[in-house]
Amino acid sequence: MSTSKPAPQRKLSNGVMIPSIGLGTWPLNDAEAAKTIAEAIAIGYRLIDTAENYRNEAGVGEGIRASGIDRSEVFVTSKFNAEWHSVDGVQQAFANSAKRLQLDYIDLLLVHWPNPGQDRYVEAYRGMIKLLEDGKIRALGLSNFKPAHLDRLIAETGVVPHLDQVQLNPYIGRPDERAYHAKHGIVTESWTPIGKGGELMQEPAVAGAAKRRGKTPGQIVLRWHVQNGLLPIPKSSNPERLAQNLSVFDFELTDDEMAAITALDRGGVGAADSDKTGH
């Protein structure tokens, strides 16, 4: 199995350090997650992303234990569903995830979707703030929240989240979200960072840069995320690709290459609309 150096770390606004690239685990089942996580940690991964809705938290925890790594060296993220959107509900959601993971604390917990039609995400966020104050989580974040959702959270609680995880890749550039996050000191984390189906990998701006540098198209796209200050969490269960995805810190794209990849943005086409979807 090839290995890479662990990714450099970056600082969240509360001072907590987080690896600058991570491993997504959807749609791995428990058995697949346990195997992949143990392999990924051996390769050099230190940030693992899971969720209640993925139904693989038990496998993720098993993989962490099987790796033999000290708990303090791995950064674990999980997320909870809409049914827990209340102050007390979030305490139960945390307890459920911690039990499945067999962990005493979770580094970063996210509200998985705002579900604005339910109109309880502010209460869910208040529950997250309590978890942070109680030391059960080290950082609080959100997933799929738009600037309008964030405005309301900050106005009603006075607490700015540390991270917002959104669907983001060169086709779905999210310029408004990124600008908002930058203004408020929120880290932007990218899910589906290399797109779906391989179409993005065949774009001349991507494939050309890969050929010039002797890198894979996936490495080029992940480097685009890193140079934009984004935090990508690509998913793979292939050991070779796991290592490739982590090896994006030994080269830089030129300004022209970055601009050409950024120009692939399709203006939101294909993006999940968190005002209309969620769980």
At the topology level of CATH, where does 9-262 sit?
Answer: TIM Barrel (3.20.20)
Q: Where do we find the tokens 């195997």?
A: 35
Q: What count of other Cβ atoms lies within 10 Å of the Cβ of residue 104?
A: 9
Residues 236-248 have pLDDT tens digits of 999 999 999 999 9
Residues 149-177 have pLDDT tens digits of 999 999 999 999 999 999 999 999 999 99
- 109 has a pLDDT exceeding 80: yes
Residues 3, 42: Cα–Cα separation, whole Å:
7
Which residues sit opposite 75 in a β-bridge?
Answer: 47
C-alpha closest to that of 243 among 215, 206, 201: 215
Annotated domain spans of the chain: 9-262
Note if the bond before 27 is cis, omega within 30 degrees: yes
Residues 203, 76: Cα–Cα separation, whole Å:
33
Per-residue pLDDT, 50: 98
- 130 has a pLDDT exceeding 80: yes
Marked catalytic residue, from 54, 125, 171, 180: 54
Residue 118, token pair as written in the block:
């339910």
- 3 has a pLDDT exceeding 80: no
Determine the 3-state secondary structure of 223 from DSSP: helix
Per-residue pLDDT, 102: 98
Q: Cβ contacts of residue 55 below 8 Å, gap of 6+? A: 29, 30
- The percent of residues above 90 in pLDDT, for the chain, comes to 96
- 1 has a pLDDT exceeding 90: no
Residues 194-220 have pLDDT tens digits of 998 889 999 999 999 999 999 999 999
Residues 14, 140: Cα–Cα separation, whole Å:
10
Residues 173-200 have pLDDT tens digits of 999 999 999 999 999 999 999 998 889 9
Residues 111, 145: Cα–Cα separation, whole Å:
9
Per-residue pLDDT, 4: 74
- 233 has a pLDDT exceeding 90: yes
Residues 85-98 have pLDDT tens digits of 999 999 999 999 99
- What's the pLDDT band for 30 if we cut at 50, 70, 90? very high
Indicate if 45 belongs to the active site: no
Q: Cβ contacts of residue 133 below 8 Å, gap of 6+? A: none
Q: Where do we find the tokens 């770390």?
A: 9
**DSSP labels for 41-104?**
HHHT--EEE--GGGT-HHHHHHHHHHHT--GGG-EEEEEE-GGG-SHHHHHHHHHHHHHHHT-S
- Three-state SS across 98-160? HHHHCCCCEEEEEECCCCCCCCCHHHHHHHHHHHHHCCCEEEEEEECCCHHHHHHHHHHHCCC
Averaged pLDDT of the chain: 97
pTM: 0.97
- What's the pLDDT band for 228 if we cut at 50, 70, 90? very high
| 15 CB burial (10 A radius; 0-12, 13-18, 19+) | exposed
